[in-house]
Amino acid sequence: MAAMQSLTIPRPDDWHLHLRDGEALRCVVRHTAETFGRAIVMPNLRPPVETVAQAEHYRARILEALDPGLRFDPLMTLYLTPRTTPQEVARAAAHPHVVAIKMYPAGATTNAEAGVSSLDGLEPVLEAMQEHQLPLLIHGESIDPGVDVFDREAVFVERQLGPLVQRFSNLRVVLEHITTAEAAAFVASAPANVAATITPQHLLLDRNALFAGGIRPHHWCLPVLKRERHRQALLAAVGTGDTSFFLGTDSAPHEEATKLSACGCAGIFSAPIALALYAEAFESIDALHRFEGFASRNGPAFYGLPVSKETVTLVRNPQQVPPSYPFGDGVVVPLRAGGVVRWSVRT
């Protein structure tokens, strides 16, 4: 069969995105809004977005930072902390623009210091989320210091996630940015209230990419890239068309100097080329016919939102990726910087 030259799908959404704030926000928001109709915006600002009132203000800043010509609907999240209350959960559930609560295990990743060291004591909050059907988005990595960094996700799935979904069997849960065969298998076999997002980097790169000819800080993100067999398991998961898996870039911009440092920040910036990169990943396993579900349908179905009536078209036109983009006073280096992506997006 001749290779597909173009692919038109309902306008996709990004179900896991970091937009930052202030000048940085101004620089990056258009890269998402040019392609995606909606995005779930992570609350890991400093200080974190903990309340509905803070989320409303953050959403207003996002819309204000957007070029007037762009239509984009930021879907807001609250940051789960030991201070979160069932009352705030009820407020969030009733709010038209707050769609979920994000759980960061304390210290697990960038700006996760305010997170929770365990879910003990948060049962009333989880009960309220279950009752109001407000999804819990989880950064699924163990913070037990004895656990190897490459095993943190698998250990979290076994020790924390398994018991959580058993105890709160009607809680809507998204295991974010999954990276392992263990996580993919857990989600595939879990009931429909448990889903997962997958990033472009975890579909395209294995951990060798961190050390290709020297250390590669622009490939450093959390959860860290894993072995090739895990990448293959993620590709296999999306290749089946299982509706539990959907697009979440985890595009996480950091200024270049903060990544090229003795203790560099975790986070990969992919927003400008993310959709084209995903298309490459799906094409690599001859699964472009599964792309529409992953990018445009499974996420809205999980969140109970309509599929977009607009479309975007991917064309097999190679694009050159810029070496960097403006970011505040400096620059941010994207995934595949200076390289070529085999697809382009025509909106």
Q: Which residues bind Zn ion (CB under 5 A)?
A: 250
Nearest C-alpha neighbor of 180 from the set 241, 118, 223: 223
Q: Which is nearer to Zn ion, 111 or 160 (CB)?
A: 111
Residue 142's binding partner, choosing from ligand NCD, Zn ion, none, with beta-carbon cut-off 5 to 8 A by kind?
Answer: none
Residues 6+ apart with CB under 8 A from 236: 184, 285
Neighbours of 258 (CB within 10 A): 15
- Which is it for the CA torsion 51, 267, 192, 310, positive or negative? positive
Q: Which is nearer to Zn ion, 141 or 250 (CB)?
A: 250
Q: Which is nearer to Zn ion, 250 or 283 (CB)?
A: 250
Neighbours of 344 (CB within 10 A): 17
Which of the residues 242, 250, 286, 329 is marked catalytic? 250
Rounded to whole angstroms, the Cα distance separating 39 from 32 reads: 8
Pairing between strand 173-175 and 98-103?
unpaired
E strands, 11-143, are: 14-17, 38-41, 73-79, 98-103, 136-138
Question: Among residue numbers 118 through 157, which ones bind ligand NCD (CB under 6 A)?
Answer: 139
Give me the residue whose beta carbon is nearest to ligand NCD: 267
Amino acid found at 3? A
Question: Among residue numbers 10 through 39, which ones bind ligand NCD (CB under 6 A)?
Answer: 18
Question: Among residue numbers 53 through 112, which ones bind ligand NCD (CB under 6 A)?
Answer: 109-111
Residue 4's binding partner, choosing from Zn ion, ligand NCD, none, with beta-carbon cut-off 5 to 8 A by kind?
Answer: none
Convert residues 237-276 into a mask of x (bound to ligand NCD by CB under 6 A) and - (unbound).
Answer: -------------x-x-------------xx---------
User: Please, what is the minimum distance in Å from the beta carbon of residue 141 to ligand NCD?
Assistant: 8
User: Please, what is the minimum distance in Å from the beta carbon of residue 249 to Zn ion?
Assistant: 9
Q: Which is nearer to Zn ion, 172 or 254 (CB)?
A: 254
Neighbours of 306 (CB within 10 A): 8
Residue 32's binding partner, choosing from Zn ion, ligand NCD, none, with beta-carbon cut-off 5 to 8 A by kind?
Answer: none
250 is catalytic: yes
User: Please, what is the minimum distance in Å from the beta carbon of residue 156 to Zn ion?
Assistant: 15
Does 222 bind ligand NCD (CB under 6 A)? Our answer is yes
Are the C-beta atoms of 8 and 168 separated by less than 8 Å? Answer: no
Q: Could you check whether the bond before residue 47 is cis, i.e. omega within 30 degrees of 0?
A: yes
Rounded to whole angstroms, the Cα distance separating 1 from 282 reads: 16
**259 token code pair:** 């990544």
Residue 266's binding partner, choosing from Zn ion, ligand NCD, none, with beta-carbon cut-off 5 to 8 A by kind?
Answer: ligand NCD
Chain-centroid distance, C-alpha 102 = 11
Q: Which is nearer to Zn ion, 252 or 273 (CB)?
A: 252
According to DSSP, residue 269 is labeled B
Residue 249's binding partner, choosing from ligand NCD, Zn ion, none, with beta-carbon cut-off 5 to 8 A by kind?
Answer: none
Residues lying near ligand NCD in the complex (CB under 6 A) are found at: 18, 44, 109-111, 139, 221-222, 250, 252, 266-267
User: Catalytic residues, which ones?
Assistant: 250
